[in-house]
Each structure stands twice: as C-alpha cells, then as structure tokens.
C-alpha cells in the first residue's frame, strides 16, 4: 500500500506511541504490586518486544529515504510497482510525503512551467546558413504524467519536443530571407513556429497514445506555452549589408522629409504673397487722391506741433502736400515773418502751415 502521509497523520502517530508508552508503564506498576508473577512474565515479554522494536527502528531509519519520499511544491510523483504491474497510471502522487515500499520506485516530475534553450542551424531561401537560438516554454499535463512516464520517460523534452522544434525551424526559415529572419519578420516566424510545433507534437502524442487505452487518445501529454527567438546569427558580410541598407533608408527618409518641408514652405509663401496682393488691390481701390492729401496735411500739422524737432515748411511737394525739412543739423532758423533782421523770433506767434507762403 502506497499512501500520502500528511503532517497531521504523523503527529497523530507520534502522540499515539507516547500515550502507549505511558499506559504501559502504569500497567507494569499495577501488576508489580498486585500480580508479581504476571509482572515478571510481562517484563520478559516487554524486553524481547523492545529489542525487536529497536531493531525494526534501526531498519526503518536506514530505509527512511527509500520508504518516505518527499514530493515538494510544484512536483508530482509517478509510482512504479515491482510486484503490482509496473507503472501506476491511475493518478499521480501530489505534494507531501509518500509512503513507498522499499522495492517500489517513485519518480519525481516538475509540474511547473519550464524553459529550454536550443541552438538550431537552418538554411534561408537564399541558401545562407544561419544559427538561431530558440527558447521553448513548456509544462507536462499533470493528470497524464503517469502515461508520459510510461510511454516516453523523464527525457520527454529531448524525445518529443526539441526534435519537433528543430524540424519546424528548418522548414519555416527556408521560406524567408536572412534579412527577414534577422529583422522585421521575427514575430511572424515565432507565431508560425509555435503553431507548427504544437500541431506536430499533438500528432506525435496521438501516435504514442495508440498503444494505450482508447479513452486516452485525443489528450495532450505536454503543453507548449510559447516559443521565442532569442538570437539570430548571420554571416558577417550579410550583417554589414543589412546595416548599410538600414542607414541608407533612414538617410533617404531624412531627405524626403526635407523636400516635404521645402514644398510646404514654398506653398506657405505663395499663399502669403497672394494674400498681400489681394489686400493691396482691395485697399488701393477704396482710397482717393483727395483723402490721401488730407491725411498728409493732418500729419504735417502734428509734426509742426511736436516739441522734439523744429521744422520749416517750404512751399509744397510734388503731390501738393507740404514739404518738411529738418533744421536740427545747425542751419539758421528764419523768423516766421521772413525778415532776417528780426531780433526775437520766439516773440512771434507760431503760424499755421496755411499761413506760410512760398516766395
């Protein structure tokens, strides 16, 4: 009989042994007082039983690692019975301590997700030889681990998983160029690898399970969670060519962007010039010559009133507007009356531009 021993059961057994020892001592004291003959007879039996138990205890201690098998967290055990028909496929043994006969064997399997990395050489569509480093994440189906142990064994990864991975990599890579594998098609290749390997592994498992009961057919023994391309090694010359091509592509995009910016700037200036032309056409059609002369006279009056500069209006300009000359350069200032002998020009009242006549 092979059972899982829990911690509560072990404590119960230890407590029972201690209680039996205490009751045995009490019984021997009672017999010694009231039944001396029985006491001597039981004492001799007790001695022989103690020696026998001591021998059995030493044997149990010597075989404890064989009899009491520990199944850690994230592990399951598969029992092989020497006298019971070989592999016990009804169910695996889960976490805990398993009591196993010394002539039986309990094999431990990990039920957690695991990763395996392998290097595979493949040929691209151009005939180039490349080396790829592939990582596979997998785990066995816990309920079917006994069948996996019986039909494949503990090295199931090397027997049914990695060979299919290598075959799928070589088949799929042959449809792509070295540049596609190395650069922008990697994710697509990963998806194709996973789907192809899953399909091939299931076909192989189906072939293996034909040896067992019909109800096991259609079940999986191993689950593949993901496949990753960790590294791709290509010839050095091809690598240099790919890098140069990428550099030229970015340079081309830079110049293309410059041309786009220049075209947009030219278009902006064209629109701006058209707007200025439309504005000038609109303004020039709505301003008369008389209005411009009137605005010029108003500006002349404002300049004549300014305290920052002294001006003299001499006649009129080309368009009939007053002509203003700046006299701050040191030229003599004439009096408003035009008489050069006048002694106090500041005593004269300022005259308006309309009062100044050209002589």
Q: Each residue of 260-270: pLDDT tens digit?
A: 999 999 999 99
Whether residue 216 is found in the same domain as residue 131: yes
Looking at the structure, do residues 131 and 180 belong to the same domain, yes or no?
yes
Q: Do 122 and 220 share a domain, yes or no? A: yes
Assess whether 101 and 125 both reside in one domain.
no
Average predicted confidence (pLDDT) for the chain? 77
User: Does the residue 338 lie in any domain?
Assistant: yes
Which one of 218, 237, 256 terminates a domain? Answer: 237
Q: Is residue 283 situated within a structural domain?
A: no
Paired tokens of 325: 């000359």
The band of 275, judged by pLDDT with boundaries at 50, 70 and 90, is: confident
Match 């039909």 to its residue by tokens: 151
DSSP state of 350: P
| 69 plus 165 within the same structural domain | no
> Are 45 and 159 part of one and the same domain?
no
In angstroms, rounded to a whole number, what is the distance separating the alpha carbons of residues 245 and 236?
14
Indicate the residue among 108, 128, 154 that finishes a domain.
108
Helix (H, G, I), strand (E, B) or coil at 312: strand
Over 70: is that where the pLDDT of 185 sits?
yes
Q: Which of 6-10, 92-96, 156-160, 272-276 has the lowest mean pLDDT?
A: 6-10
Do 215 and 163 have their domain in common? Answer: yes
Where residue 223 sits, what CATH number does that domain have? 3.30.479.30
What is the C-alpha to C-alpha distance for residues 242 and 310, in angstroms, rounded to an integer?
A: 78
**Which strands, in side-by-side order, build the sheet including 68-71?**
3-5, 96-99, 68-71
Instruction: State mean pLDDT over 65-75.
Output: 87
Kindly report the pTM of this predicted structure: 0.55
Please identify, among 67, 84, 108, the residue that sits at the C-terminal boundary of a domain.
Answer: 108
Q: Where are the beta strands (DSSP E) in the chain?
A: 3-5, 68-71, 75-81, 86-87, 96-99, 105-110, 114-123, 129-140, 222-233, 311-316, 322-326
Would you say the C-alpha torsion 52, 57, 62, 66 has a positive or negative sign?
A: positive
Residues 6+ apart with CB under 8 A from 307: none
Q: Has residue 257 been placed in a domain?
A: no
Please state, in angstroms and rounded to a whole number, the distance separating the CA atoms of residues 359 and 348: 19
Residue 189 counted as domain residue:
yes
Residue 66 lies in a domain: yes
Same-domain pairing of 203 and 97:
no
Supply the pLDDT for residue 28. Answer: 66
pLDDT (0 to 100) of residue 358: 37
Domain holding 15, by residue range, is 3-108
Q: Is pLDDT larger for residue 185 or for residue 316?
A: 185
Q: Say whether both 90 and 155 belong to one domain.
A: no
Does residue 291 carry a pLDDT above 80?
A: no
pLDDT in the model for residue 277: 83
Q: Following CA atoms 35, 36, 40, 41 in sequence, which dihedral angle do they give, to the nearest 10 degrees?
A: -30
Those residues whose C-beta lies under 8 Å from the C-beta of residue 218, and which sit 6 or more positions away, are: 206
- Tell me the per-residue pLDDT of 31-57, one tens digit each, with 9 for 90 and over: 666 666 666 666 667 666 777 777 877
Say if residue 91 is in the same domain as residue 144: no
Distance CA 54, CA 10 (A): 19
- The total of structural domains in the chain comes to 3
Q: Is residue 200 part of a domain?
A: yes
Q: How far apart are CA 71 and CA 321, in angstroms?
A: 113
In a 13 Å sphere around the CA of 325, the CA atoms on its Cβ side amount to: 13
Q: How long, in residues, is the chain?
A: 359
Q: Which residue has the tokens 């439309």?
A: 278
- Same domain, yes or no, for 119 and 212? yes
Closest CA to 29 of 19, 39, 42, 21: 39
Q: What is the pLDDT of residue 18?
A: 76
Q: Are residues 40 and 58 in the same domain?
A: yes
Selected residue with higher pLDDT from 310 and 270: 270
Please check whether residue 249 lies inside any domain of the structure. no
For residue 266, being part of any structural domain is answered with no
DSSP annotation string for 337-359: T--TT-S-GGGSPP--GGG----
């Amino acid at each position: 009989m092979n059972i899982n021993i829990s911690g509560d059961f072990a404590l119960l057994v230890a407590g029972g042994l201690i209680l039996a020892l205490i009751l045995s001592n009490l019984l021997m004291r009672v017999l010694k007082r009231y039944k001396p003959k029985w006491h001597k007879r039981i004492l001799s039996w007790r001695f022989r039983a103690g020696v026998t138990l001591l021998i059995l205890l030493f044997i149990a201690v010597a075989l404890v690692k064989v009899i009491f098998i520990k199944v850690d967290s994230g592990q399951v055990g598969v029992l092989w019975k020497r006298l019971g028909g070989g592999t016990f496929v009804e169910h695996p043994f889960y976490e805990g301590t398993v009591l196993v006969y010394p002539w039986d064997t309990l094999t431990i399997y990990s039920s957690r997700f695991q990763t395996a990395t392998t290097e595979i050489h493949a040929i691209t569509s151009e005939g180039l030889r490349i080396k790829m480093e592939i990582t596979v994440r997998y785990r066995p189906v816990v309920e079917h681990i006994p069948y996996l142990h019986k039909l494949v064994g503990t090295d199931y990864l090397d027997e049914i998983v990695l060979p299919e991975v290598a075959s799928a990599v070589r088949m799929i890579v042959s449809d792509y160029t070295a540049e596609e594998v190395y650069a922008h098609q990697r994710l697509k290749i990963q998806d194709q690898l996973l789907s192809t390997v899953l399909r091939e592994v299931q076909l192989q498992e189906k072939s293996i399970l034909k040896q067992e009961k019909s109800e096991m057919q259609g079940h999986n023994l191993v689950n593949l969670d993901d496949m990753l391309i960790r590294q791709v090694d290509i010839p050095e010359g091809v690598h240099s060519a790919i890098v140069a091509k990428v550099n030229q592509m970015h340079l081309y995009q830079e110049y293309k962007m410059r041309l786009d910016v220049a075209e947009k700037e030219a278009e902006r200036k064209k629109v701006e010039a058209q707007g200025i032309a439309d504005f000038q056409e609109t303004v020039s059609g709505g301003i008369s010559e008389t209005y411009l002369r009137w605005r010029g006279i108003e500006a002349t009056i404002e300049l004549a009133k300014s305290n920052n500069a002294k001006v003299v209006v001499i006649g009129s300009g080309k368009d009939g507007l007053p002509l203003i000359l700046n006299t701050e350069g040191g030229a003599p200032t004439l009096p408003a009356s035009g008489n050069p002998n006048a002694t106090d020009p500041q005593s004269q009242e300022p005259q308006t531009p309309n009062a100044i006549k050209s002589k």
